[in-house]
Structure 1
Amino acid sequence: MSVETGQRPPSSSDTTPATVRVIRRDGSVSPFDANKISVAVTKAFLAVEGGDAAASSRIHHLVKELTEQIETTLLRHAGPETALHIEQIQDIVELALMRGEHHKVARAYVLYREERAKAREAEKPASSDVAISVKAADGSLRPLDWARVSHVVGEAVAGLEDVSAEPVLAEAKRNLYDGISADELALAQIMAARVLVEQEPNYSYVSARLLADKLRGEALSYLAGVPQQASQDEMTTRYPQYFRDYLKRAIELELVNAELQTFDLDKITAAIHAERDLDFGFLGLQTLYDRYFQHHDGVRFELPQAFFMRVAMGLAIREDDREARAIEFYELLSTFHFMASTPTLFNSGTTRPQLSSCFLTTVDDDLDSIFQAYKNNALLAKYSGGLGNDWTPVRGLGAHIKGTNGQSQGVVPFLKIANDTAVAVNQGGKRKGAACAYLETWHVDIEEFLDLRKNTGDDRRRTHDMNTANWVPDEFLRRVEADAQWTLFSPNETPDLHDLYGNAFAERYREYEAAAERGELKVFRKVRAVDLWRRMLTMLFETGHPWITFKDPCNLRSPQQHVGVVHSSNLCTEITLNTTTDEVAVCNLGSVNLLKHVTPEGLDTQRLEKTVRTAVRMLDNVIDINFYTIPEARRSNLRHRPIGLGLMGFQDALFEIGVPLSSNEAVQFADTSMEHISYYAISASTDLAEERGQYQTFEGSLWSKGILPIDSMQLLIDARQGDALDVDTSSTLDWAPLRERVKTVGMRNSNVMAIAPTATISNICGVGQSIEPLFQNLFVKSNMSGDFTVVNPHLVRSLKERGLWDEVMVSDLKYFDGSLGQIDRVPDDLKALYATAFEIESKWLVDAGSRRQKWIDQAQSLNLYIAAPSGRKLDELYRYAWHKGLKTTYYLRARSATHVEKSTLRGTDGKLNAVSATPAPAAPASPKPAAAPAPAASPAPSASAAVPAVPVTAPAPAAKPEPKEMPKVSDVDFVATEGAACRIDDPDCEACQ
């Protein structure tokens, strides 16, 4: 069953690069041959399942899929000199079987590999090492300097616990062959350390340090024009001169702003800490290497500390004491206490400093506005901006067009063009262009909008690459809970609904319903609210879209409601800023690393305050430095000056203080930590207002009235008028002095907080994304930089303390899909603390999100997880989020029975491993019968039962519910399909990057 390679037979579908080679165990090299993988996987299945006709047909189909996945993984980053070791290929085969949940087959495959390895070892004759030559860039050969390899690896393991050079050197030696290139030699060392990560997480740091050695050679050689090498120790003295050389060359190439050379470089270079290059995990440094560092002709010449200093100098370029501020900013970035957003990291200090993260636009109901929107999207996306487009004003299907006396085709055909624009402008290859279209739930095209991400139907009315989101008014959910009718309108006949919210919207909406009944409107349609809600949830699971976001909380609590309306959120649902056809909302993001601000005793508030104050200053600087690609964005940003300070590493902070995510203590920690961030951020913006002046539209804002985010919660409570709104409004700090200071001194920024997904920057810092629960304790993450083994270091530390971390535990974690739930020897307290995302009832995430939301003037990217989705569970969960006062939700991350248990092993293998963590608290008493019940704690679902699919439009129940009883979405399970909901590690997904 082992994978061996030979000459691959020619095929019309063969797209494998001819130069991709395989290093065999005897050191010889042969061409890559995917057919050999197919044969080996087939043998593995046959050994477990037998070879009867029915099994053979099923196996053939599965093997074809698995082989394609394995080949894609192996060749994703293949270059002209790529060489794969036979063992590396077999590792990927094993991984594919495990990820596919074919556990019995994977186990048989692993045992077979072990038996063969022992047999080879027994047969191997004693012999001396074979002489190896290394091919230089000019093609010349030189003897391998094994002494240097040993030194570099020894330096990489220095100071790290539970790692050693010997296994890395042994694994690296196994991957060498005569004539190996210098790049392949460096890669062999990196890969040798990577394969050990699953046994010991600290090998991730070893891998990163070996990658840093490769990067140093690449950068120094490029700047010197001749081959150069430097150890980490040598860089302590070489970094200052290197930085000067780097800056000079980057300016010559017109990659970096020439003004950076006018800084006092003696002060700047003296502040660089070369040793911080050692603080990266492999995923973090590889991400920077692939996508962030400055390069020319494919050669990276920006080292990590130069990268952080370039960003810091770019953000300090207009400060009075530029050097002191640059060093202050550098300290925050290079220690991972705070990380600026990806566009800021990409572009700060460059000749085109587009530093803003998010742009929100409104598209008006005319062709000029629509096609201007396409152009704006392209220009904004070019420099890494994420887009949120409000399409609600565009008239619906069948609406009258006065100019041509014809009928409109509706909004959907225009969305198709917006989708293709996002694909075409892919941000210079750094990451895919990304946009999200928003539509209000009363729009007559809403049902077609729900279908946009389906894989079936007319492809001209599908947007396979663009995200979509429902912009849901409170009135709709009231109708759902009352089992009432809902009327869909065309916005050209009901234009003011777009700008109304709260009770004003509800009153005007009812007036339009009466007008429709009188025959005064031409385009409208009545539907049962529950049926539309059911379809929204069905599409959310089946396609992952549209997301559910709530219009009224976003507007009622907006500090800027005196100068406009929030018509949509952004690409990641955390930004809630006003938009018009004349103003494109812009937000400038960065995130506090919460792990760096806790100790085992709790929150380090003194350190947190220092970080937040500096971070707010950095984000405010972005607004003035920024390169604006369209005038509407510049006008808006300079008038209102919004920023979005968020956080990441929330789950890591809980690990550090020993609190399970599914607990009241964790909800309270979410509350307290966000309260402090909110207090310090508002205070910092007020200090900046005193130093630099208020933002232009401060007068009339909620801020000017002394209404802070915590106070604006009352506005939502008042607007709900007795509807169930279960929110906590308690606080622990004395807000009165700050409230008064905001009123008298003002604010520098119209908005100051928003919690973004932080997918990539959290990888850089080596912590969990944003406020996310841990996906698995051991898994392989896929993103644009490749596939990375990720092991929860906090778990490993805890297991080591109890003497439980060993090879058997690694094997168990693999077998049980990164879960501790069914590993008997793990104590219950660790099972609760390290419960994974699909083992945690999403109610806890909503509760924590609700506590945070009261402190935030914008919103948060809140993903929801559900292990075995059903219509009833989704219905309860999303209405619960509404009742808890959330402004938005983001991805639904779902894992159904068919994901856990593949068809070849149905009923015999691959169970979902839920744990019995702390149970969810009982739902509070509802103010009235129509209140959404709290989702009950979910028991471990059975993975063996066949589950029916929810139809696209489920039929209405035969009888109406009893009066005052909540209508329920059908309690049937969903069938998982390829691409349903969110894969979590999708390399093409913006949220996973």
Structure 2
Amino acid sequence: MTHPDPTCAAPAAASASPSPPVPPPAPGAGPAGPATGHSPLQSIANPCDAIPPPPVERPTGSAQPAAPADTWITKEAGNRRLPFDRARLERSIDAIHAEFPHLDVADYKRSVFGFVERKAAVNADDLVDHLIREAEARVDLTAPEWEHFAARIYLHRLYKRASRNRFYDAAQKYGSYVGLQESLADRNIYSNDILHAYSKEELEQAGRMIDPGRDRLFTYNGLYLLATRYLATDNARNVYELPQERWLTIALYLMQNEGGTGQGGRERRMQLVGEAYWALSNLYMTVATPTLQNAGKVGGQLSSCFIDTVDDSLQGIYDSNTDIARVSKGGGGVGAYLGYVRAAGAPIRGVPNASGGVVPWIKQLNNTAVSVDQLGQRKGAVAVYLDIWHRDIEAFLDLRLNNGDQRLRAHDVFTAVCIPDLFMEAVERRGDWYLFDPYEVKRIKGWYLQDFYDEARGDGTFRRKYQEVVDDERIARKTVKAIDIFKRIMVSQLETGSPFMFYRDEVNRKNPNKHCGMVYSSNLCTEILQNQGPTRMIREVISGDQIVTTRQAGDFVVCNLSSINLGRAVVAAEGQGDLISDVLERLVPIQVRMLDNVIDLNELPVPQATITNRKYRAIGLGTFGWHHLLALKGVDWNSAEAEEFSDALYERINYLAVQASMELAKEKGTYPVFAGSDWHTGAYFRERGYNSPAWLDLAAQVAVNGLRNGWLLAVAPNMSTAQIAGSTASIDPIYSAFYYEEKKDYRRPVAAPGLSLETWPYYEKGAWKLDQFASVRQNARRQRHIDQSISFNFYVPSTIRASTLLDLHMTAWREGLKTTYYVRSNDIDIAECEWCSS
């Protein structure tokens, strides 16, 4: 039995007695395994599934009116009108209250009844909205469960609407999964892939995996986001797919090519489907938003992150713009490296001062970002990267400022600077810095400066090549003070949040595939670090009435993301009782397999991205919920314990990911350019100081068996999926433990995940009051275990001293961070900022 209908219209005929209760499961017969396993948070069954609402008591001999005679509930656009049944509404509230008995619902009922009974007529949907808003309004430190109370009401609405559209009894919550696949494939909403890959019997078996009880893990905020953005609907936005069906569809879609044609292979495939469903439905992990949005549906690609390298030619620039537009249309964020593009005043075809530099081309990309999005669902987003020695760097750093010549501004792209160690050393000693035109360097020296990096701290090829350029009097240069350039960086960061920082020497030193290329820049969110190269046109010929263009594909980076929910996966115990082990050993292998399968299933909008994707088979397994986990474990953010915990946890995740990719390589083969990589030679393990017996044994196995994936770990921002999973974003601290979010017609309270009197002390200091130097140290400890990078934000007051912000950046560089993301400034009293006022 489900919750009684909260729209509370009196039924056409009242039953004289309630339905019999559903008996509880026998002791020891609890569901287990990938199909039906429960987490500890689900140990209390939903009382509304087992206990019927109490019968309505009516006085003998006379009818009891349900509400004032002139109060009506209207449905179906006002075409249906029924008298309001107060007792039925109260039973509905009581049924949910039974799950949260410590909540005081007396005032809640008074508010809801007053809302209805003051009116002559109330629309049923408006009543449900009011029930949800009133529950949300009561969220506070002592009663955060009101957020789950609101989610139960919203769940019932989803169940009811799906059952009406799919013609099954709402009391079942979920209808036929096979019927859903067939129906939405007929409507051209689902693709036919799953129907073609699986038999009807297999889909029926998959449907039996669905556990509606796991819907109770959602908060209202997370459930609403999932339902309104990601669940499959028709063109009229009618509800068809429900949350557990989204998880199951993703699992089936990603596992469709697993196993084999034999019976054993099919059984193995269904086992993997069950494992993937277990991981997703328990909210132990989430997939990237394009995968969440598009898996199993018609159209759309599954990857989040792309990086293009723009060639220094008119054809290359416009081809890149087109490629970026195609990626943006598919919902991907793009990083664009413009370091090869000649500077303003450079010659074109021998004509001096002909080039307008990078700014006009960035403005073109700005227009592309604004004009091309994913059908209005996801805005286009582009980050542009430029080297700190490029002669256009000063104009580049001003691109997003609100003052100055607006013809030289591009407010809708994000800027990022590529910084060598040599520049940071010049800032430290307040020395000179030289700016060059990359085209002129190439013309005179025969090579590009950006094609080199320092192989060691304080020594390497880049600084020798840079000095060669400085010493060559044939090459024009502009001389500036390094600290003055850094001041311009910080001014822009405090005003706009960018530029992001990309420490190119550390990136390339730690690149496990340096045998195959260079990393010139990162992506939109600064966590992806993979080999890059421009795509160049070779020739264009006319063949009859066709034009045939031949291009040499460069490395167009694409990365496939998913994230571990640390707030559940690390503290959750598998099985029953007081087990203290977490689920990582079971979770990471299935997560790596799912990511690897994305590579083969993906339909990428740019052909060179497909080539690069299959060449390196890169994945980006990340995390979210770090602050949530610290609060649950009672670890202070600013403590040395947090740093030690960060080190140990991410080393373990890395070990499990390398092990899982190695096992996949034994099963399916290595990525094509594994030979000669740092994985293969063992340099990856030696450089990170992995000297324990377990690591040494794993390194030896990798050398023999290979790896399936050229890159493995990357920590993305993942704010939306963290919200769906009810946790904190990425490795970021929360903004505030408790605050009010302004909506158009009301304010809704927002509480930190797992907020309670016990966790409050660990959430009390919001992001801007936590020690940012402690955050840097935490990230330095975890960065050692992440072969790519971390979307790492600084949270600073807008009144921060320039010397303190500079010290933060210098500390991040010295500690070996590869990138930093936004500088998020906020107007808080400097007296409250203990870490930045000393």
Residue 501 in 1 paired to residue 453 in 2? yes
Residue 153 in 1 paired to residue 85 in 2? no
Amino acid of the residue matched to residue 721 of structure 2? I
Amino acid of the residue matched to residue 93 of structure 2? V
Question: Aligned equivalents of 1:777 and 1:731: distance in 2?
Answer: 40
* 2:256 paired residue number: 317
Once the two structures are superposed, what CA deviation does each residue of 1:760-798 show, in whole Å capped at 9, x if it has no partner?
A: 111011111111112111013579999752213544242
Matches within 5 A, 1:295-306: 295-296=233-234, 297-306=236-245
Amino acid of the residue matched to residue 402 of structure 2? N
- State which of 713, 720, 731 in structure 2 corresponds to 1:753: 713
Once the two structures are superposed, what CA deviation does each residue of 1:139-174 show, in whole Å capped at 9, x if it has no partner?
A: 322223444433433333332253254333333233
* 1:884 paired residue number: 815
Question: Aligned equivalents of 1:458 and 1:482: distance in 2?
Answer: 33
Report the CA distance shift for 1:694/1:600 in structure 2 as closer, same or farther (over 3 A).
closer
- Aligned CA RMSD, in angstroms, stands at 2.5
Amino acid of the residue matched to residue 246 of structure 1? L
Residue 711 in 1 paired to residue 647 in 2? no
- State which of 183, 204, 210 in structure 1 corresponds to 2:125: 183
Q: CA deviation at 1:405?
A: 5.4
Report the CA distance shift for 1:494/1:169 in structure 2 as closer, same or farther (over 3 A).
farther
Determine helix, strand or coil for the equivalent of 2:334.
strand
* 1:671 paired residue number: 647
* 1:136 paired residue number: 75
* 2:395 paired residue number: 448
- State which of 164, 169, 174 in structure 2 corresponds to 1:239: 174
Question: Aligned equivalents of 2:655 and 2:106: distance in 1?
Answer: 51
- State which of 514, 521, 545 in structure 2 corresponds to 1:561: 514
Report the CA distance shift for 1:742/1:599 in structure 2 as closer, same or farther (over 3 A).
same
Report the CA distance shift for 1:643/1:786 in structure 2 as closer, same or farther (over 3 A).
farther
Q: Is the 8 A contact 1:605 1:676 kept in 2?
A: no
Determine helix, strand or coil for the equivalent of 1:559.
coil
Residue 740 in 1 paired to residue 700 in 2? yes
Once the two structures are superposed, what CA deviation does each residue of 1:629-674 show, in whole Å capped at 9, x if it has no partner?
A: 1101100001100001111111111112111010000000000000
Amino acid of the residue matched to residue 679 of structure 1? Y
Determine helix, strand or coil for the equivalent of 1:666.
helix
Q: Is the 8 A contact 1:598 1:657 kept in 2?
A: no
* 1:261 paired residue number: 195
Question: Aligned equivalents of 2:329 and 2:693: distance in 1?
Answer: 43
Report the CA distance shift for 1:785/1:497 in structure 2 as closer, same or farther (over 3 A).
farther
Q: CA deviation at 1:696?
A: 0.3
Q: Is the 8 A contact 1:382 1:427 kept in 2?
A: yes
Report the CA distance shift for 1:764/1:584 in structure 2 as closer, same or farther (over 3 A).
same
* 1:592 paired residue number: 564
Determine helix, strand or coil for the equivalent of 2:501.
strand
Question: Aligned equivalents of 2:374 and 2:569: distance in 1?
Answer: 34
Residue 764 in 1 paired to residue 764 in 2? no
* 1:106 paired residue number: none
Report the CA distance shift for 1:711/1:538 in structure 2 as closer, same or farther (over 3 A).
farther
Question: Aligned equivalents of 1:784 and 1:607: distance in 2?
Answer: 41
Report the CA distance shift for 1:793/1:333 in structure 2 as closer, same or farther (over 3 A).
closer
Question: Aligned equivalents of 1:785 and 1:584: distance in 2?
Answer: 45
Q: CA deviation at 1:245?
A: 3.0
Once the two structures are superposed, what CA deviation does each residue of 1:878-937 show, in whole Å capped at 9, x if it has no partner?
A: 00000000000011122234xx5xxxxxxxxxx96557xxxxxxxxxxxxxxxxxxxxx4
Q: Is the 8 A contact 2:800 2:836 kept in 1?
A: no
Q: Is the 8 A contact 1:169 1:189 kept in 2?
A: no
Once the two structures are superposed, what CA deviation does each residue of 1:219-276 show, in whole Å capped at 9, x if it has no partner?
A: 222223xxx873xxx23xx5242x3332222111212121323531221111100111
Q: Is the 8 A contact 2:144 2:755 kept in 1?
A: no
Residue 275 in 1 paired to residue 234 in 2? no
* 1:531 paired residue number: 484
Matches within 5 A, 1:517-666: 518=473, 520-522=474-476, 524-581=477-534, 582-599=554-571, 607-666=583-642
Question: Aligned equivalents of 1:464 and 1:130: distance in 2?
Answer: 58
Report the CA distance shift for 1:786/1:334 in structure 2 as closer, same or farther (over 3 A).
farther
Report the CA distance shift for 1:353/1:600 in structure 2 as closer, same or farther (over 3 A).
closer
Q: CA deviation at 1:607?
A: 1.9
* 1:167 paired residue number: 107
Q: Is the 8 A contact 1:353 1:625 kept in 2?
A: no
Amino acid of the residue matched to residue 585 of structure 1? V
Amino acid of the residue matched to residue 789 of structure 1? P
Question: Aligned equivalents of 2:341 and 2:410: distance in 1?
Answer: 17
* 1:514 paired residue number: 471
The TM-score normalised by the length of structure 2 is: 0.82
Determine helix, strand or coil for the equivalent of 1:185.
helix
Once the two structures are superposed, what CA deviation does each residue of 1:64-120 show, in whole Å capped at 9, x if it has no partner?
A: xxxxxxxxxxxxxxxxxxxxxxxxxxxxxxxxxxxxxxxxxxxxxxxxxxxxxxxxx
Question: Aligned equivalents of 1:695 and 1:431: distance in 2?
Answer: 32
Once the two structures are superposed, what CA deviation does each residue of 1:939-980 show, in whole Å capped at 9, x if it has no partner?
A: 58xxxxxxxxxxxxxxxxxxxxxxxxxxxxxxxxxxxxxxxx
In percent, how many aligned pairs have the same letter?
34
Report the CA distance shift for 1:634/1:652 in structure 2 as closer, same or farther (over 3 A).
same
Amino acid of the residue matched to residue 780 of structure 2? S
Q: CA deviation at 1:192?
A: 1.6
* 2:417 paired residue number: 470
Report the CA distance shift for 1:240/1:833 in structure 2 as closer, same or farther (over 3 A).
closer
Q: CA deviation at 1:537?
A: 1.3
Once the two structures are superposed, what CA deviation does each residue of 1:350-374 show, in whole Å capped at 9, x if it has no partner?
A: 2225111100110011111111111
* 1:457 paired residue number: 404
- State which of 156, 167, 170 in structure 2 corresponds to 1:213: 156
Amino acid of the residue matched to residue 596 of structure 1? R
Once the two structures are superposed, what CA deviation does each residue of 1:395-428 show, in whole Å capped at 9, x if it has no partner?
A: 1111111165551111011111111111212212
Amino acid of the residue matched to residue 265 of structure 1? L
* 1:777 paired residue number: 737
Residue 293 in 1 paired to residue 231 in 2? yes
* 1:688 paired residue number: 664
Determine helix, strand or coil for the equivalent of 1:874.
helix
Determine helix, strand or coil for the equivalent of 1:294.
coil
Question: Aligned equivalents of 2:744 and 2:311: distance in 1?
Answer: 35
Amino acid of the residue matched to residue 203 of structure 1? W
Question: Aligned equivalents of 1:399 and 1:603: distance in 2?
Answer: 67
Question: Aligned equivalents of 1:476 and 1:603: distance in 2?
Answer: 52
Q: CA deviation at 1:129?
A: 4.5
Matches within 5 A, 1:43-122: none
Gapped regions of structure 2 (runs ≥ 5): 1-65, 260-265, 443-447, 455-459, 535-553
Gapped regions of structure 1 (runs ≥ 5): 1-126, 714-728, 800-829, 901-910, 916-936, 941-993
Amino acid of the residue matched to residue 506 of structure 2? P
Amino acid of the residue matched to residue 293 of structure 2? F
Report the CA distance shift for 1:468/1:781 in structure 2 as closer, same or farther (over 3 A).
farther
Question: Aligned equivalents of 1:497 and 1:152: distance in 2?
Answer: 70
Q: CA deviation at 1:874?
A: 0.6
Amino acid of the residue matched to residue 289 of structure 1? A
Q: CA deviation at 1:462?
A: 1.3
Report the CA distance shift for 1:782/1:858 in structure 2 as closer, same or farther (over 3 A).
farther
The TM-score normalised by the length of structure 1 is: 0.70
Q: CA deviation at 1:599?
A: 4.0
Q: CA deviation at 1:440?
A: 0.7
Number of residue pairs aligned between Structure 1 and Structure 2: 722
* 1:308 paired residue number: 247
* Higher alpha-carbon deviation: 605-614 or 482-491: 605-614
Report the CA distance shift for 1:128/1:256 in structure 2 as closer, same or farther (over 3 A).
closer
* 2:335 paired residue number: 388
Question: Aligned equivalents of 1:752 and 1:780: distance in 2?
Answer: 38
Question: Aligned equivalents of 2:88 and 2:325: distance in 1?
Answer: 49
